[in-house]
Amino acid sequence: MLVYGIHAVDALLRRNPHTVDQLLLQDGRDDKRLKALLALAQNQGVSVERVSREELARLVEGRHQGAVARVAASDAEGGGGLQWREPELLRHVEGKAGPVLLLVLDGVTDPHNLGACLRSADAAGADAVIVPRDNSASMTPVVRKVASGAAEALPLVTVTNLSRTLEALKGSGVWLFGAAGEAENSIYNSDLTGSVALIMGAEGRGMRRLTREHCDHLISLPMTGSVDSLNVSVAAGVCLFEARRQRLAAS
């Protein structure tokens, strides 16, 4: 697997340098950010090679920003990044001293949206992002690039049966808040200070029926403009930071 982009490569070198086989940097480019990556790689004992901009462009799809890391085969299995299984998630929920904040994405298939959601969830202090194994985006180089380092810091939990996972979370004291445009209760009138899982459905379709039925509360974002919905990553960011705001106010 190849990880590319300044932020994604920087986070990989800082958190998991042992997984990097080689760092490829754009030849002839010596700006401050690439010099910092070069110094970091050398300090971590990672092999560095200078290659042309065209060669980097042939290796990856999207903007590489002059930096591409070759990831060891063992880390590349499953997409790399920080990933948990369901038992690890439940152990974390049950063992954490304070309330947890989780983001659940039901049927979000666009890797750019998954990467953006990981980035927002990490910034808001979430404990993990949960996705179903089927009909969902998974960890890919694109996701890691868009996440700008969050994929190396925030656990992505891929579960086989989302309904079963939601029931297990409820059994561990987590309240499930599902985002639904038609919900009468606004997110701003909801108490998000306890252990909470915010559930976002796919754009257009929203949450699946079974997922909706597991929710303790349905919430909406008040919309006052001409549009009636937001991109899922934007909506997730708004909900996550409202939860963050409430927790800061309560502390």
Collapsed DSSP state (helix, strand, coil) of residue 208: coil
Give the residue among 147, 140, 6, 150 at the shortest CA–CA distance from 67: 6
User: What tokens appear for 53 in the block?
Assistant: 């901009």
In degrees, rounded to 5, the angle at the alpha carbon of residue 122 between the alpha carbons of residues 116 and 128 is 100
On whether 38 is known to bind a ligand per the annotation, the reply is: no
Give the residue among 136, 153, 2, 164 at the shortest CA–CA distance from 83: 153
On whether 221 is known to bind a ligand per the annotation, the reply is: yes
- Residue 218, H or E segment: strand 217-219
In degrees, rounded to 5, the angle at the alpha carbon of residue 102 between the alpha carbons of residues 100 and 105 is 170
Q: Which long-range contacts (CB under 8 A, 24 or more apart) does 203-206 make?
A: 203/229, 203/231, 203/232, 205/107, 206/179, 206/180, 206/181
Cα distance between residue 181 and residue 230, in whole Å: 10
Cα distance between residue 174 and residue 101, in whole Å: 9
On whether 206 is known to bind a ligand per the annotation, the reply is: no
Where is the binding site, in residues? 201, 221, 230
**Per the annotation, where are the binding residues for S-adenosyl-L-methionine?**
201, 221, 230
